Amino acid sequence: MTETDVRACKSCGQKNRVRAAASGTPRCASCGADLPWLARITGAGFREGVETSPVPVLADFWAPWCAPCRMVEPVVERLAVDLAGRLKVAKINTDEEPQLGSRFEVRGIPTLILFRDGKEADRVTGAMPAPELRAWVESRLR
């Protein structure tokens, strides 16, 4: 996702623009259904996109050269779609944003940190099978 991305609503098919650093939960302009929020976040957008989010945020700290990161990526992106309105997903490239990796003491990638009310609620490091990753996220959204 860039500064804005176009997302099709699962309910009515309407195409909607979604801002990458939006602090709220995006909704379809036509029917009001929740839209997936998946953004590549930089240091400048971290506060608005993650720390002030009213919805829990799963921050995926990754790098393009990391094979386990590429294995987890489709699962994380699917979670953004399946849990639209309940979860936002922020992708943070640690090669491009080393200060964020350092700030959150990311020692290995992929590292997935779940933020609730702008604070770290839980984290996992390393690739997990899709069912386990989904179960981990969903159990923390209750």
Q: Are 33 and 14 in contact, with CB atoms under 8 Å apart? A: no
Is 69 catalytic? The answer is: yes
Is 9 catalytic? The answer is: no
Q: What is the DSSP string of 2-71?
A: -SEEEEE-TTT--EEEEETT-SS--B-TTT--B---EEE--HHHHIIIIIT-SS-EEEEEE-TT-HHHHH
Instruction: For residue 1, count CB atoms less than 10 angstroms from its CB and return exposed for 0-12, middle for 13-18, buried for 19 or more.
Output: buried
List active site positions. 66, 69
